Amino acid sequence: MPQIRFPQLKSQIIILIYPFFLSLLGCIPNSPKSVPLAKLERSQQGMVVSAHPLASEAGQLILQKGGNAVDAAVATAFAISVVEPFSAGIGGGGFLLMGTPPENSETQKEYKIQALDFRERSPKAATRDMYLNQEGEVDQRASLDGHLAVGVPGTVAGLYTVHKDYGKLPWSELLQSAIGYARDGFEVSDRFVSRLERRLEVINKNPAAKAAFTKNGQPYQPGDLLIQTDKAQTLETIAENPQSFYTGKIGEAIATDMAANGGLITLEDLKDYTPIWRQPVCGEFRQARVCAMPPPSSGGVHLLQILNIIGETNLPQWGRQNPDTIHLLTEAMGVAYADRSKYLGDPDFVQVPVQELTSRSYAQQVRQEINLEQAKPVTEVQPAAPETLRNYIWESPNTTHLTVVDEERLVISMTYTINGSFGAGVVTAGTGILLNNEMDDFAAAPGVANLYGLVGGEANAIAPKKTPLSSMTPTIVTQDGQLIMATGSPGGSTIITTVLQVVLNVLEYKMDAAQAVSAPRFHHQWLPDKLILETGGFSEATVNELQRRGHNVEMRDGWGNANAIVVTESGVLEAAADPRGEGEAKGE
């Protein structure tokens, strides 16, 4: 078996700095120790759920005006860019899954699921070793802070692409709520302020970011009104002409600011930016069909891989909080993240063995090798050898999240991001656009961990115009032509396991949407070798038993900020936003 290059010393460093980075970049929400139950919202018609009440309201308004799920998702996404600017926005990128119900059940039996990749791409001038210093070591901050950390943003192009072909209402109408929030201001929350405080030092180094998000370098306080005049103007321009972001005055401002500050993005990079429609990855779990984002996200592949490893195991009989269940899933997670580190990358640059990794026979093999009594030490968990993986053939043809379903049951599940809190901490002067630090999702060097402690290798090395590997997992679950649920979450490396657990909570444990997004979570990602359990969610006996089986258990306060829409048997939409965040569901 090939060994991934992963020196011992590096693994120790990763284990030490990983929680520190997560908290610094604001990916661990300030959630209470024991998570309260989310509020359940019901509607017969349409539903929008996002990470901020004002953004959900923007989408709800569009549904009420006769817009469809695409229109509402676009309006919600632009609003998030204003009211939750630290998490996602027009300076970032993401993925969208769209599910269209069968028009005629005679000719079309299943939902049609399409996946849109509007993730950031590396600039043309990016190089493999761009984050190494003269000693050949990774400069950890260079891919996180400042202009060099920024990937070419895809959000505006992505939203326009899906709207052009599938939207109903005029484009400019969809931006009006966002423009209003930016121009008139909105009250910032505790969550906003805590993230701002953590990134204040970096933000204050960039004059435009400092002007946009601080009061002369001091953080806003909860309840203060944040007015974003430049962003309002930029959104007005995009409302008139979305291309202005790439070929017009906004693009020129970004390129000029980059050139003056050591960034790599040129006007040519912006002009070349193209969203890509991709085939989602879909698989069967029990009677349901689970579809999620394919590479360049690792999310869909590993979600299906873990579901396949669960296989026929009777999880409901085992019980959700049971050590056996947690142990089995943890071992499956370890294998999935080990394979991720070797095989996953931009499919336009490397061959990703999607069919093999999501094949049932490979999963069965992994399942057989899991010792239910003893955790496998991570040093013994290695990515599958290519020659092994080749034996598994496909058996059948086949960092904010928002979910929208309309009256026709058209569904959008969309996760998009600027990566770390407040992205690169850079605002393009005169535009109010906060730029991403998505370049950190590449493997800066083989075996060196990124912000989320994830390691990667050749498949995710930096190259010009390449897309960094993601974990974002927008997901749609259907059965016999009916929608069952749609979900997703932010949370960096924890996204895949969060989405997995929300899906299992609904499909296996028959929870409603509120219970499914509230239930305590656990996470393992192979490296660092830690089984992370949510504080307050697991009994002492369970923790002891997991430790006895060899798991390095660590308790941590809640992570992720999932939301979900679930369709009940009587066809009612039920939705909930993660109580660990401040999101809300709004029915039409």
Cβ nearer to ligand DON, comparing 117 with 574: 117
Candidates 10-18, 305-313, 467-475, 525-533; binding stretch for ligand DON (CB under 6 A): 467-475
Rounded CA gap, 132 and 142, in Å? 9
Beta carbon nearer to ligand DON, 470 or 563: 470
Beta pairing, strands 276-278 & 281-285: unpaired
Q: Is 76 in the site for ligand DON (CB under 6 A)?
A: no
Token pair 């924890």 in the structure block, residue: 494
Which window, 124-132, 217-225, 465-473, 520-528, contacts ligand DON (CB under 6 A)? 465-473
Q: Are strands 433-435 and 288-292 parallel, antiparallel or unpaired?
A: unpaired
570's CB contacts (< 8 A; 6+ apart) are none
417 binds ligand DON (CB under 6 A): yes
Q: Give whichever of 407 and 557 is closer to ligand DON, judged by the CB atom.
A: 557
Residues facing 117 on adjacent strands: 95, 276
- Interactions with ligand DON, residue window 430-449 (CB under 6 A): 438, 441
> What CA–CA distance (Å, rounded) separates 568 from 325?
26
Verify binding: residue 492, ligand DON, rule CB under 6 A.
yes
Instruction: Tell me the catalytic residues.
Output: 399
Question: In degrees rounded to 5, what are phi and psi of residue 522?
Answer: -140, 165
Residue closer to ligand DON, measured from CB, 87 or 478: 87
Q: Collapsing DSSP states into helix, strand and coil, what is residue 245?
A: helix
- How many residues are listed for the chain in this entry? 588
H-type alpha helices, 242-348: 249-260, 267-272, 299-310, 315-318, 323-343
By CB under 6 A, what part of segment 344-403 binds ligand DON? 399
302 or 586: CB nearest ligand DON: 302
Closer residue to ligand DON, CB minimum distance, 196 or 235: 196
Closest approach of ligand DON to the CB of residue 419, in Å: 4
> Can residue 474 be called a binding residue for ligand DON (CB under 6 A)?
no
All residues at 6 or more sequence positions from 107 whose CB lies less than 8 Å from its CB, including other chains = none
Is residue 470 close enough to count as binding ligand DON by CB under 6 A?
A: yes
From the CB of residue 171, how many other CB atoms can be counted at a distance below 10 Å?
18
Q: How far is the CB of 27 from ligand DON (least distance, A)?
A: 3
What is the size of the binding site for ligand DON (CB under 6 A)?
A: 13
Question: What is the nearest approach in angstroms of ligand DON to the Cβ of residue 495?
Answer: 6
Among 50, 81, 155, 419, binds ligand DON (CB under 6 A): 419
Rounded CA separation 295/313 (Å): 28
| Identified binder of ligand DON from the candidate list 46, 491, 537, 579, rule CB under 6 A | 491
Which of 279, 144, 213, 273 lies closest to 427, judged by CA? 213
Q: Interface residues with ligand DON (CB under 6 A)? A: 27, 399, 417, 419, 438, 441, 470-472, 490-492, 495
